[in-house]
Structure 1
């Protein structure tokens, strides 16, 4: 069953259209001839972004490395967007070289991301280098086999957080990751690709109804904008996070 792609002909939400124009203009000015193409993914690409809640997720593909310029260019971009578009909560930028993306080695990484999760907003669309994908364990494990690292990282981040905003952001990030990883565990059986974290949780429960309480708690972490007691959050990560990691290991052993 072929996975759907994001229709590039559907216009971006009106409030985000000047954001996209400014992004392209800034990157063209900063990178000049080194810029190959630019993509957005996530909720902005899907035209479901919520002002004041959604990040702008960007992929910048260049002809050659620009490490000496990268920090200055991207920090200035974030500063400008924070001032001009305060409803964009953050700008997350991934970079790659053309030769890295247009490679067989990138089949389940850049290939899948550009073909099914992103929209090209400038330059030659490298998604055209790849065919269409079907739901598979290879995709699921590539994007989520590191779930143990994520759980460990955010467990430590939440335990050491001092500012409420820092903890809330960490709560939401790990909840989003775990909900998506939960669905990816069953994606090869469910034969879909779901990106919305809450919908991921709901569909996952069709296969693991015994995890209803855990999924509901993850939903609370994702949606709430208040601090949840650290002991409760860490307990959830230790319990459900450990179970999820074990399930990935078992599935990988069984399927390979």
Structure 2
């Protein structure tokens, strides 16, 4: 089965179209000729974003490194967006060089992300360097095989959250990651690809119905309801451990 791509001709939602255009203008002004292309991925790219809940996820591809001005440029963009587009919860950036993206080594990383999860909003569309993809363990493994590492990172974030706002943000992030990682385990059998965390959880349950309670708890963590730290940490320690072990077993079996 060939995976679908996001239709680049479908317009962005009204709440985000001007925000995306302003973002491109900021980056063009700040990077000049060094800017090669800009991509939007995530819910804004899929046109399913929810105001005051969804991030604007961006990939910036340049010809040369801009590490010295990176922090200043991105912080300025974020500050301007906080003032102008308060419904955008955060502007999140990934960066890459053209030489890194247009490489055989990037087939399951940048190649897959640009081809099936993103929309080019400025410049030469590097997704056209790659053919269409089929669901595979290689894709699932690349995006989730470090599950044990990021579980530890997010566990620490939850434990150190100073208020409900920080805790809510952390629980949302870990719930999304765990739902997507759950689905990635069954991609070789399901032969499809889902990006929506809730859709990932539902499809995963077709193969692991015994995990219904855990998936339901993760979906609750996606809501606006703040979950107690001990409950979120409990999910990370119990279900997260199961996920990490399953990835190791699947990798051993498939290779």
Instruction: Extract structure 1 runs of 4+ deviating beyond 6 A.
Output: none
Matches of residues 88-107 of structure 1 in structure 2 within 5 Å?
88-107=88-107
State yes or no: 1:177 paired with 2:177: yes
For residue 214 of structure 1, report the CA deviation from its aligned partner. Answer: 0.3
Aligned to 1:34: 34
Which residue matches 2:227? Answer: 228
Q: 2:148 corresponds to which residue?
A: 148
Which residue pairs with 1:205 in the alignment?
A: 205
Question: Hey, what does 2:242 align to over in structure 1?
Answer: 243
Q: Counterpart in 1 of 2:57?
A: 57
Q: What is the rounded CA distance, in whole Å, between the counterparts of 1:31 and 1:155 in structure 2?
A: 36
TM normalised by structure 2 equals 0.99
Q: Which runs of 5+ in 2 are unaligned?
A: none
Q: CA deviation at 1:102?
A: 0.2
Cα shift at 1:229: 1.7
Deviation of residue 226 (structure 1)?
3.2
1:161 is aligned to 161
In the alignment, the residues of structure 2 paired with residue 198 and residue 34 of structure 1 have an alpha-carbon distance, to the nearest angstrom, of 38
With the length of structure 1 as denominator, give the TM-score of the two structures.
Answer: 0.98
SS at 1:64's partner residue? Answer: coil
Match of 2:120 in 1: 120
Cα offsets for 1:17-71 (capped at 9, x unmatched) = 1111101111110000000000000000001111111000000000000111101
- Using the alignment, how far apart are the partners of 2:128 and 2:227 within structure 1? 44
SS of the residue aligned with 1:51? coil
Post-superposition shift, 1:231? 1.6
Could you list the per-position Cα deviations for residues 185-209 of structure 1 after superposition, in whole angstroms to 9, with x for gaps in the alignment? Answer: 0011101110000110010000000
Q: CA deviation at 1:246?
A: 0.3
Q: Does 148-157 or 178-187 show the bigger shift?
A: 148-157
Instruction: Show structure 1 runs of 5+ residues with no match.
Output: none
